[in-house]
Amino acid sequence: MQAGHFLNAKQEQRRLSMVTCYDYTFARLLARSSIDGILVGDSAAMVMHGHPSTIAARVEMMKLHTEAVARGAGDKLIVADMPFLSYRMGWTSALDAAHVLMSAGAQAVKLEGVDGHEDVVQRLVESGIPVMGHLGLQPQSIHAFGGYKVQGRGDEAAQKILRQAVALEQLGAFSIVLECIPAPLASEVTAALRIPTIGIGAGAGCDGQILVLQDLLGMNTDFHPRFVRHFLEGANAIVDALDGYDQAVKSGSFPAVEESYT
């Protein structure tokens, strides 16, 4: 799957599935799945490194995760997040950051918002770098947004998101993530665009969906917002396995003779 195939999928009314991934082992599993695309999200800062927000992500961090994913992802589309401020200090430094991520194995980059960095989106696209937008809840702006809450409620806020989505399409973005906006607004944005929308907490009217891998695998029992479905109770399964190992070690049943060298 390539960025260009996203447009075909929308034209042919095929829904797109994406998940985040940050490491080689999971990338190998995703490569075996029918998932369409992988996002090396800056949520790595939280999920992999334990930071309280994505603001801690850096180009170097995204580079290491992108390289690891690329080694295992086979022919899956890999989109890498441009981290906090890396596209807000002019297009030359933004191109430097994108250069690092593309050299690390990304086939596209994603950045949040559009107002004030239209030139960056345009330069990236003109340089042959497919750009994914990200509107609605923008986690890198969490301090300005005042928390992780639904965006685009009310006419003015909804019109702003619609305007930004149209702007991104006109600047050449190949797709847009819509995060935590009312489902009717996401459907309206989706209908207004030629490029596919990928929703997270944005209802079923988007052209595709994305979830954080560890969320859909149920790895974090403390984090279960409305928009996350657990397709596995991963945390319980893993803790049970660890306790099974612990008991086997302590009872002396592990390792068995056939697990030992003669």
Binding site for Na ion (CB under 5 A): 41-42, 81
**Residue 151: strand, helix, or coil:** coil
**From candidates 19, 63, 81, 104, binder to ligand KIV by CB under 6 A:** 81
Q: Contact between 208 and ligand KIV (CB under 6 A)?
A: no
**Residue 226: strand, helix, or coil:** coil
User: Least Å distance between CB 215 and ligand KIV?
Assistant: 9
**DSSP state, residue 82:** P
Q: Is 127 annotated as a binding residue?
A: no
The gap from C-alpha 47 to its chain's centroid, in whole angstroms, comes to 12
Stretches 35-43, 58-66, 98-106, 236-244: which one binds ligand KIV (CB under 6 A)?
Answer: 35-43
CA distances from 208 to 10, 88, 150, 178, 205 (A): 9, 28, 19, 10, 8
**From candidates 43, 66, 151, 190, binder to ligand KIV by CB under 6 A:** 43
Stretches 3-11, 40-48, 123-131, 250-258: which one binds ligand KIV (CB under 6 A)?
Answer: 40-48
Closer residue to ligand KIV, CB minimum distance, 50 or 252: 50
Catalytic residues: 179
Q: Contact between 214 and ligand KIV (CB under 6 A)?
A: no
User: Least Å distance between CB 44 and ligand KIV?
Assistant: 7
The pattern of x and - marking residues 151 through 190 that bind ligand KIV according to CB under 6 A reads --------------------------x-x-----------
Which among 46, 112, 110, 47 is positioned nearest to 78, based on CA atoms? 110
User: Least Å distance between CB 21 and ligand KIV?
Assistant: 10
Residues 115 and 88: their CA atoms lie apart, in Å, by: 10
Total binding residues for ligand KIV by CB under 6 A?
11
Asked if 79 and 65 touch (Cβ cutoff 8 Å), the reply is no
DSSP string computed for 162-204: HHHHHHHHHHT-SEEEEES--HHHHHHHHHH-SSPEEEESS-T
Asked if 212 and 235 touch (Cβ cutoff 8 Å), the reply is no
